[in-house]
Structure 1
């Protein structure tokens, strides 16, 4: 492990809350706070790796956990999804309440910056797939008041708002229709409330519908370059250009399925491929437009990284690939601070 001082990292996406809902855990909040060795992130491993905070996703799984023959998942019903959303939100806020000041839920970029400076872990509430929100959007307003600051209208399945892109490789993200009328209303209200709109699981038509409609920076919190890994979940060069033109951001996903050019779930995938995606996007749309979006606890990451405690290996590899300290800090946390401040208005 390199001896350099830890660079703070803001992460664009993790699925810790879903992991905490899995059966067989006596007290998952205590496990996270004290260090449990499960999954990719707990508080001790975050501190060991320089992980300063980031977007904690609420994701409600499909009632049938496997896709159909075409790779499509079925969305949960709204009432059930809302109940599960609230249960995960409770766990999220309980992390702060029981942390004895080690964790602070952040609702604006000023709080996020202060937490980084004070070494306080800084989670932000995010929803991945808006199935718990009805067409009336009442739940959205309530969740926003509670602290919701980032939302992906879809996961990789259709719902009342849009059509998530199915998992296919090799394949373009151009699968299915775009935003529905309800989806357009959702985008407008998110803009009004200054909730970040995450495009990571949106199909290409939905991406362009959002780009035409939204007045906020375009952000994909955990996606990669389609030119390097032709997975339907990744971003084409044209999509990357649109994100760059909007002064948005791409958070690089550590999942081997979205890094490799063959789509194979191989844990021996070199960590260098993460740096290759960072370099590709930085060269195409600017170093200010690329950040990190691990997908920890939601995907299979390279063995060379292993978990949050291994993040200094990635930072050191960036140095070895010629990234200077300013560029490393941009990718690690400054770009997230910038795009969130411009999206949230503070």
Structure 2
């Protein structure tokens, strides 16, 4: 049997939905791997997330001009240089970093002094109230994706990790600057909408943990910069609950393109200019099929379906989520209200598609 309209090799074009593009991932297979070979570099020489412990901190084996971050920026610049200034375009540039293992190239690996890094937000008391999944990650050793028990990390370890992490971010800032300079040179920066965001944050020692896989704010509260050209919206800070699924409809409304039926997110464009508007009283946060979270301005509840456990935090009294109230009798009323609201949101947001499978 032959598939109908089979998808081509995942690293080759035409790629459905895209006119042009270049793909790379943590393991660097595909076009970037071919690029490294062409320049005499072995893809296995530099740590990546499938062969090294996730806590690794080391200088990249490659100079910054051959690093994955620079390669991604170069591909974006190539597209802009070849594109006519008179023709509208949409370009998505997605950097792999900052990501574990923490291996920025020189000079970014030494740009930040670990001694200047703030210590993680955590408490010893919170550990006993964790769901089992967090306790397993904290104590795990052999076979754990991170390669080491986080319970063994010292303050110096966490500060070192953060210094390398900041170096990665600085590198990306510089590469985005190169992309913006091309827009400026082509005299189209002042007519280009620029949106910056991230798929998730990083624990970086907060609550004694590393990487992602939790529902703490340090993972779910991601940056979102919406920079329209020559607009009254510029230089305004907006602090409201919203969701990543709102980005697409917001962009579509800004460029006067109809929002397709069935889109679960909503445009939040009007709320940018009118502080009195609140797009959401609460937001639903989902991770795989295991954790469902409802976040309001005043509380957060997370249901861990595998272990029938959960998290409940009163953000007014406990903004850093250090005291889990899930099993506390004095929080029964709050837990019931939040759980009812969570179940209501889950019912209204059923996804008819099959569960997405991915390596990371």
- Asked if Structure 1 and Structure 2 have the same fold, meaning a TM-score greater than 0.5 normalized by the shorter chain, the answer is no
Higher relative helix content? 1
Q: Which is higher, the Rg of structure 1 or of structure 2?
A: 2
Higher relative contact order at CA 8 Å, sep ≥6: structure 1 or structure 2?
1
